[in-house]
Protein backbone atom coordinates (compact mmCIF):
# COMPACT_ATOMS: atom_id res chain seq x y z
CA UNK A 1 0.00 0.00 0.00
CA UNK A 2 1.50 3.32 -1.03
CA UNK A 3 2.22 5.75 1.81
CA UNK A 4 1.01 3.16 4.31
CA UNK A 5 2.19 3.44 7.90
CA UNK A 6 1.33 1.84 11.23
CA UNK A 7 -0.55 4.33 13.41
CA UNK A 8 1.55 3.42 16.47
CA UNK A 9 4.60 4.53 14.49
CA UNK A 10 2.82 7.82 13.76
CA UNK A 11 2.09 8.12 17.48
CA UNK A 12 5.72 7.67 18.50
CA UNK A 13 6.94 10.14 15.88
CA UNK A 14 4.46 12.68 17.25
CA UNK A 15 5.74 12.09 20.79
CA UNK A 16 9.36 12.64 19.78
CA UNK A 17 8.53 15.83 17.93
CA UNK A 18 6.46 17.07 20.86
CA UNK A 19 9.31 16.66 23.34
CA UNK A 20 11.69 18.31 20.90
CA UNK A 21 9.45 21.37 20.76
CA UNK A 22 9.25 21.59 24.55
CA UNK A 23 6.19 19.55 25.56
CA UNK A 24 6.80 17.94 28.96
CA UNK A 25 5.48 14.58 27.76
CA UNK A 26 5.82 11.29 29.64
CA UNK A 27 4.63 8.00 28.08
CA UNK A 28 3.47 5.27 30.44
CA UNK A 29 3.39 1.65 29.26
CA UNK A 30 2.28 -1.62 30.84
CA UNK A 31 5.00 -3.95 29.57
CA UNK A 32 3.74 -2.84 26.14
CA UNK A 33 6.88 -1.35 24.60
CA UNK A 34 6.66 -3.58 21.51
CA UNK A 35 2.92 -2.99 21.09
CA UNK A 36 3.51 0.75 21.28
CA UNK A 37 6.54 0.60 18.95
CA UNK A 38 8.09 2.98 21.46
CA UNK A 39 11.78 2.02 21.01
CA UNK A 40 12.72 5.16 19.01
CA UNK A 41 11.32 7.32 21.81
CA UNK A 42 13.26 5.38 24.47
CA UNK A 43 16.44 5.79 22.42
CA UNK A 44 15.89 9.53 22.11
CA UNK A 45 14.68 10.11 25.68
CA UNK A 46 15.68 7.14 27.88
CA UNK A 47 14.66 8.85 31.12
CA UNK A 48 11.14 9.83 30.04
CA UNK A 49 9.37 6.48 29.73
CA UNK A 50 7.68 4.77 32.70
CA UNK A 51 6.98 1.03 32.48
CA UNK A 52 4.68 -0.17 35.28
CA UNK A 53 4.65 -3.80 34.13
CA UNK A 54 1.50 -5.76 33.36
CA UNK A 55 -0.65 -3.62 35.63
CA UNK A 56 -3.13 -1.57 33.64
CA UNK A 57 -4.84 -0.02 36.67
CA UNK A 58 -1.46 1.19 37.88
CA UNK A 59 -0.76 2.44 34.35
CA UNK A 60 -3.75 4.79 34.37
CA UNK A 61 -3.33 5.82 38.01
CA UNK A 62 0.32 6.66 37.40
CA UNK A 63 -0.56 8.70 34.32
CA UNK A 64 -3.17 10.62 36.31
CA UNK A 65 -0.59 11.37 39.01
CA UNK A 66 1.91 12.59 36.44
CA UNK A 67 -0.74 14.86 34.93
CA UNK A 68 -1.59 16.31 38.34
CA UNK A 69 2.12 17.01 38.70
CA UNK A 70 2.10 19.07 35.51
CA UNK A 71 3.21 16.50 32.94
CA UNK A 72 1.45 15.66 29.68
CA UNK A 73 0.88 11.98 30.41
CA UNK A 74 0.18 9.50 27.60
CA UNK A 75 -0.72 5.85 28.10
CA UNK A 76 0.32 3.41 25.40
CA UNK A 77 -1.05 -0.12 25.58
CA UNK A 78 -3.54 -2.47 23.95
CA UNK A 79 -7.08 -1.11 23.82
CA UNK A 80 -8.81 -4.21 25.27
CA UNK A 81 -6.69 -4.11 28.43
CA UNK A 82 -6.75 -0.35 28.81
CA UNK A 83 -10.54 -0.18 28.57
CA UNK A 84 -11.47 -3.38 30.42
CA UNK A 85 -8.85 -3.86 33.12
CA UNK A 86 -8.44 -0.18 34.00
CA UNK A 87 -12.08 0.79 33.54
CA UNK A 88 -12.55 2.31 37.00
CA UNK A 89 -9.27 4.22 36.87
CA UNK A 90 -10.13 5.67 33.46
CA UNK A 91 -13.54 6.72 34.76
CA UNK A 92 -12.45 8.18 38.10
CA UNK A 93 -8.77 9.08 37.91
CA UNK A 94 -8.90 10.53 34.39
CA UNK A 95 -12.43 11.50 33.35
CA UNK A 96 -14.07 12.47 36.65
CA UNK A 97 -10.98 14.26 37.93
CA UNK A 98 -10.31 15.95 34.58
CA UNK A 99 -6.64 15.01 34.51
CA UNK A 100 -4.55 15.88 31.47
CA UNK A 101 -4.08 12.28 30.31
CA UNK A 102 -4.11 11.09 26.70
CA UNK A 103 -5.21 7.46 26.48
CA UNK A 104 -4.08 5.58 23.38
CA UNK A 105 -6.03 2.38 22.68
CA UNK A 106 -3.62 0.40 20.50
CA UNK A 107 -4.54 -2.53 18.23
CA UNK A 108 -8.23 -1.72 18.59
CA UNK A 109 -11.12 -3.59 17.01
CA UNK A 110 -10.15 -7.11 15.97
CA UNK A 111 -6.56 -6.14 15.10
CA UNK A 112 -5.21 -9.06 17.13
CA UNK A 113 -7.11 -11.47 14.89
CA UNK A 114 -6.51 -15.10 15.95
CA UNK A 115 -5.94 -14.11 19.60
CA UNK A 116 -9.73 -13.79 19.80
CA UNK A 117 -12.10 -12.11 22.21
CA UNK A 118 -9.63 -11.63 25.07
CA UNK A 119 -7.57 -9.41 22.77
CA UNK A 120 -10.31 -7.86 20.66
CA UNK A 121 -11.57 -4.40 21.55
CA UNK A 122 -15.02 -4.11 19.98
CA UNK A 123 -16.65 -2.15 22.79
CA UNK A 124 -14.11 0.59 23.55
CA UNK A 125 -16.01 3.43 21.86
CA UNK A 126 -19.23 2.35 23.57
CA UNK A 127 -17.51 2.34 26.97
CA UNK A 128 -15.79 5.66 26.44
CA UNK A 129 -18.98 7.30 25.15
CA UNK A 130 -20.58 6.23 28.42
CA UNK A 131 -17.97 8.19 30.38
CA UNK A 132 -18.30 11.93 30.73
CA UNK A 133 -15.61 14.55 30.22
CA UNK A 134 -13.36 12.87 27.66
CA UNK A 135 -12.84 13.55 23.98
CA UNK A 136 -12.87 10.49 21.67
CA UNK A 137 -11.14 10.10 18.30
CA UNK A 138 -10.73 7.29 15.76
CA UNK A 139 -8.29 8.21 12.97
CA UNK A 140 -8.33 6.30 9.71
CA UNK A 141 -5.00 7.19 8.08
CA UNK A 142 -1.49 8.36 9.05
CA UNK A 143 -1.95 12.06 8.22
CA UNK A 144 -5.26 12.31 10.07
CA UNK A 145 -3.78 10.37 12.98
CA UNK A 146 -0.80 12.70 13.28
CA UNK A 147 -2.99 15.80 13.28
CA UNK A 148 -5.33 14.33 15.90
CA UNK A 149 -2.37 13.45 18.15
CA UNK A 150 -0.79 16.88 17.75
CA UNK A 151 -4.12 18.44 18.71
CA UNK A 152 -4.57 16.10 21.69
CA UNK A 153 -1.12 16.87 23.11
CA UNK A 154 -1.89 20.60 23.06
CA UNK A 155 -5.44 20.21 24.38
CA UNK A 156 -5.72 20.35 28.16
CA UNK A 157 -7.99 17.55 29.37
CA UNK A 158 -8.71 13.84 28.91
CA UNK A 159 -8.58 12.33 25.42
CA UNK A 160 -9.05 8.77 24.12
CA UNK A 161 -7.60 7.90 20.71
CA UNK A 162 -8.49 4.56 19.12
CA UNK A 163 -5.67 3.24 16.92
CA UNK A 164 -5.85 0.34 14.49
CA UNK A 165 -3.16 -2.34 14.60
CA UNK A 166 -2.24 -2.59 10.91
CA UNK A 167 -0.48 -0.39 8.37
CA UNK A 168 -2.96 1.99 6.79
CA UNK A 169 -2.60 4.05 3.59
CA UNK A 170 -3.25 7.77 3.33
CA UNK A 171 -6.79 8.95 2.60
CA UNK A 172 -6.20 12.69 2.55
CA UNK A 173 -3.89 14.97 0.59
CA UNK A 174 -1.38 17.33 2.15
CA UNK A 175 -3.98 20.11 2.39
CA UNK A 176 -6.06 18.19 4.93
CA UNK A 177 -6.69 20.02 8.19
CA UNK A 178 -8.25 18.22 11.14
CA UNK A 179 -10.46 20.01 13.64
CA UNK A 180 -12.36 18.63 16.66
CA UNK A 181 -15.93 17.68 15.78
CA UNK A 182 -15.06 17.24 12.14
CA UNK A 183 -17.18 15.28 9.67
CA UNK A 184 -15.22 14.22 6.57
CA UNK A 185 -17.04 13.75 3.27
CA UNK A 186 -14.69 11.46 1.35
CA UNK A 187 -17.01 10.69 -1.58
CA UNK A 188 -20.16 12.43 -2.75
CA UNK A 189 -23.19 10.30 -3.63
CA UNK A 190 -26.91 10.48 -4.33
CA UNK A 191 -28.50 7.19 -3.27
CA UNK A 192 -26.88 5.51 -0.27
CA UNK A 193 -24.25 6.83 2.12
CA UNK A 194 -21.67 4.77 4.00
CA UNK A 195 -20.79 6.26 7.40
CA UNK A 196 -17.75 4.86 9.15
CA UNK A 197 -14.78 5.41 11.48
CA UNK A 198 -11.22 4.19 11.86
CA UNK A 199 -9.75 1.53 9.61
CA UNK A 200 -13.09 0.47 8.10
CA UNK A 201 -13.17 3.83 6.31
CA UNK A 202 -10.95 2.11 3.73
CA UNK A 203 -13.53 -0.68 3.27
CA UNK A 204 -16.24 1.94 2.72
CA UNK A 205 -14.20 3.86 0.15
CA UNK A 206 -13.50 0.65 -1.76
CA UNK A 207 -17.17 -0.35 -1.55
CA UNK A 208 -18.23 3.05 -2.88
CA UNK A 209 -15.96 2.63 -5.89
CA UNK A 210 -17.36 -0.84 -6.60
CA UNK A 211 -20.93 0.41 -6.24
CA UNK A 212 -20.20 3.20 -8.72
CA UNK A 213 -19.22 0.51 -11.25
CA UNK A 214 -22.65 -1.06 -10.69
CA UNK A 215 -24.44 2.23 -11.29
CA UNK A 216 -25.13 3.00 -7.62
CA UNK A 217 -24.08 6.41 -6.36
CA UNK A 218 -22.72 5.87 -2.84
CA UNK A 219 -21.28 8.59 -0.66
CA UNK A 220 -18.74 8.01 2.10
CA UNK A 221 -18.68 9.95 5.36
CA UNK A 222 -15.92 9.40 7.90
CA UNK A 223 -16.31 10.39 11.55
CA UNK A 224 -12.83 10.66 13.09
CA UNK A 225 -14.16 12.82 15.92
CA UNK A 226 -16.66 10.82 17.97
CA UNK A 227 -16.76 13.36 20.79
CA UNK A 228 -17.02 16.22 20.07
CA UNK A 229 -19.05 15.54 16.93
CA UNK A 230 -20.74 18.07 14.67
CA UNK A 231 -24.05 16.22 14.74
CA UNK A 232 -25.92 19.08 13.09
CA UNK A 233 -23.69 18.90 10.03
CA UNK A 234 -23.92 15.10 10.04
CA UNK A 235 -27.72 15.31 10.07
CA UNK A 236 -27.74 17.76 7.19
CA UNK A 237 -25.47 15.49 5.14
CA UNK A 238 -27.54 12.38 5.82
CA UNK A 239 -30.77 14.08 4.74
CA UNK A 240 -29.57 14.08 1.14
CA UNK A 241 -29.65 10.27 0.95
CA UNK A 242 -32.45 7.72 0.77
CA UNK A 243 -30.54 5.11 2.80
CA UNK A 244 -27.71 5.04 5.35
CA UNK A 245 -25.29 2.20 6.15
CA UNK A 246 -22.81 2.40 9.02
CA UNK A 247 -19.64 0.30 8.92
CA UNK A 248 -17.35 -0.33 11.89
CA UNK A 249 -15.02 -2.93 13.41
CA UNK A 250 -16.89 -2.49 16.69
CA UNK A 251 -20.12 -3.76 18.16
CA UNK A 252 -23.14 -2.25 16.40
CA UNK A 253 -24.16 -0.81 19.78
CA UNK A 254 -22.40 2.24 21.16
CA UNK A 255 -20.17 3.08 18.22
CA UNK A 256 -20.69 4.94 14.98
CA UNK A 257 -23.89 3.00 14.24
CA UNK A 258 -25.46 4.17 17.47
CA UNK A 259 -24.21 7.71 16.91
CA UNK A 260 -25.84 7.86 13.48
CA UNK A 261 -29.05 6.26 14.79
CA UNK A 262 -29.23 8.92 17.50
CA UNK A 263 -28.70 11.73 14.99
CA UNK A 264 -31.39 10.39 12.67
CA UNK A 265 -33.90 9.77 15.46
CA UNK A 266 -33.35 13.07 17.25
CA UNK A 267 -33.59 14.92 13.96
CA UNK A 268 -36.83 13.19 13.01
CA UNK A 269 -35.24 11.84 9.83
CA UNK A 270 -37.24 8.95 8.41
CA UNK A 271 -34.29 7.43 6.55
CA UNK A 272 -33.66 3.66 6.56
CA UNK A 273 -30.52 2.72 8.49
CA UNK A 274 -28.49 -0.49 8.38
CA UNK A 275 -25.77 -0.91 11.01
CA UNK A 276 -22.90 -3.19 9.99
CA UNK A 277 -20.41 -4.30 12.63
CA UNK A 278 -20.13 -7.02 15.24
CA UNK A 279 -23.77 -8.04 15.86
CA UNK A 280 -25.56 -7.36 19.13
CA UNK A 281 -24.59 -9.89 21.80
CA UNK A 282 -21.73 -11.40 19.81
CA UNK A 283 -17.94 -11.38 19.80
CA UNK A 284 -15.73 -11.02 16.75
CA UNK A 285 -14.53 -14.36 15.41
CA UNK A 286 -10.92 -15.46 15.80
CA UNK A 287 -9.20 -15.12 12.45
CA UNK A 288 -7.17 -12.90 10.19
CA UNK A 289 -8.51 -9.48 9.22
CA UNK A 290 -9.89 -10.51 5.83
CA UNK A 291 -11.84 -13.50 7.09
CA UNK A 292 -13.05 -11.69 10.21
CA UNK A 293 -14.42 -8.77 8.26
CA UNK A 294 -15.97 -10.99 5.61
CA UNK A 295 -17.66 -13.10 8.30
CA UNK A 296 -19.17 -10.07 9.98
CA UNK A 297 -20.10 -8.33 6.74
CA UNK A 298 -17.82 -5.32 7.11
CA UNK A 299 -15.35 -5.89 4.28
CA UNK A 300 -15.81 -3.98 1.04
CA UNK A 301 -17.43 -6.88 -0.83
CA UNK A 302 -20.00 -7.45 1.92
CA UNK A 303 -20.77 -3.73 2.19
CA UNK A 304 -21.43 -3.68 -1.56
CA UNK A 305 -23.89 -6.57 -1.25
CA UNK A 306 -25.69 -4.88 1.65
CA UNK A 307 -25.92 -1.59 -0.23
CA UNK A 308 -27.28 -3.27 -3.37
CA UNK A 309 -29.95 -5.05 -1.33
CA UNK A 310 -30.84 -1.86 0.53
CA UNK A 311 -31.12 0.19 -2.64
CA UNK A 312 -33.32 -2.51 -4.15
CA UNK A 313 -35.62 -2.30 -1.12
CA UNK A 314 -34.83 -5.84 0.04
Beta strands per DSSP E along the chain: 5-6, 25-29, 50-51, 72-78, 101-106, 135-137, 159-162, 167-168, 184-187, 192-196, 218-222, 225-227, 243-251, 273-278
Domain boundary pick from 111, 136, 168: 168
Domain boundary pick from 102, 136, 168: 168
Domain boundary pick from 168, 199, 218: 168
Residue 32, domain extent: 5-168
Q: What is the CATH number of the domain that holds 80?
A: 3.40.50.970
- Per the structure, the count of domains in the chain is 2
Strand order in the sheet with 135-137: 50-51, 25-29, 72-78, 101-106, 159-162, 135-137, 225-227
35/123 Cα distance (integer angstroms): 20
Same domain for 142 and 239, yes or no, is no
Average pLDDT, the chain: 96
Q: What confidence category does residue 1 fall into, taking pLDDT thresholds of 50, 70 and 90?
A: very low
Q: Is residue 160 predicted with pLDDT exceeding 60?
A: yes
Same domain for 54 and 141, yes or no, is yes
Same domain for 90 and 196, yes or no, is no
Report CA 258 to chain centroid distance, whole Å.
15
Q: What percent of the chain has pLDDT over 90?
A: 98
Same domain for 159 and 102, yes or no, is yes
Averaged pLDDT, 31-60: 96
Q: Which pLDDT score, from 0 to 100, does residue 3 have?
A: 83
Q: Is residue 177 part of a domain?
A: no
Q: Is residue 27 part of a domain?
A: yes
Same domain for 188 and 163, yes or no, is no
Q: Which pLDDT score, from 0 to 100, does residue 207 have?
A: 98
Q: What is the CATH number of the domain that holds 265?
A: 3.40.50.920
Q: Is residue 162 part of a domain?
A: yes
98/91 Cα distance (integer angstroms): 10
Tens of pLDDT, residue by residue over 201-219, are: 999 999 999 999 999 999 9
Q: Which of 301, 311, 309 is nearest to 209 (CA)?
A: 301
Q: Is residue 314 part of a domain?
A: no
User: How many Cα neighbours within 13 Å face the side chain of 228?
Assistant: 10
Same domain for 12 and 64, yes or no, is yes
Same domain for 164 and 188, yes or no, is no
Averaged pLDDT, 28-56: 96
Q: What confidence category does residue 2 fall into, taking pLDDT thresholds of 50, 70 and 90?
A: low
Q: Is residue 314 predicted with pLDDT exceeding 90?
A: no
Q: Which pLDDT score, from 0 to 100, does residue 313 have?
A: 80
Q: Is residue 178 part of a domain?
A: no
Same domain for 163 and 190, yes or no, is no
228 CB-near residues (< 8 Å, 6+ apart): 135, 180, 181
Same domain for 37 and 164, yes or no, is yes
Query: Is the pTM higher than 0.85?
Result: yes
3/293 Cα distance (integer angstroms): 23
Q: Which of 158, 161, 90, 162 is nearest to 122 (CA)?
A: 162
Q: Is residue 179 part of a domain?
A: no
Same domain for 189 and 123, yes or no, is no
Q: Which pLDDT score, from 0 to 100, does residue 273 have?
A: 98
Whether 228 and 180 have beta carbons less than 8 Å apart is answered as: yes
Same domain for 217 and 103, yes or no, is no
Distances 191 to 68, 200, 219, 282 between C-alpha atoms, Å: 50, 20, 8, 30
Q: Is residue 57 predicted with pLDDT exceeding 80?
A: yes
Q: Is residue 175 part of a domain?
A: no
Q: Is residue 173 part of a domain?
A: no
Averaged pLDDT, 11-27: 98
Query: What angle (nearest 5°) sits at the alpha carbon of residue 47, between those of residues 41 and 51?
Result: 75
Same domain for 13 and 144, yes or no, is yes
Q: What percent of the chain has pLDDT over 70?
A: 99
Amino acid sequence: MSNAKHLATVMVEAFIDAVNRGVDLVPVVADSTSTAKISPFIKAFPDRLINVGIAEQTLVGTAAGLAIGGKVAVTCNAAPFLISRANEQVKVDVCYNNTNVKLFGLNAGASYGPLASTHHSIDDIAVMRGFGNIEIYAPSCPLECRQIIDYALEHVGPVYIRLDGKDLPQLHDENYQFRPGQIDVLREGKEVVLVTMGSTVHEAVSASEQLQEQGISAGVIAIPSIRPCDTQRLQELLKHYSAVITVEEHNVNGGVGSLVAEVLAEGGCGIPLLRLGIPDGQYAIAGDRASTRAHHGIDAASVVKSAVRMCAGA
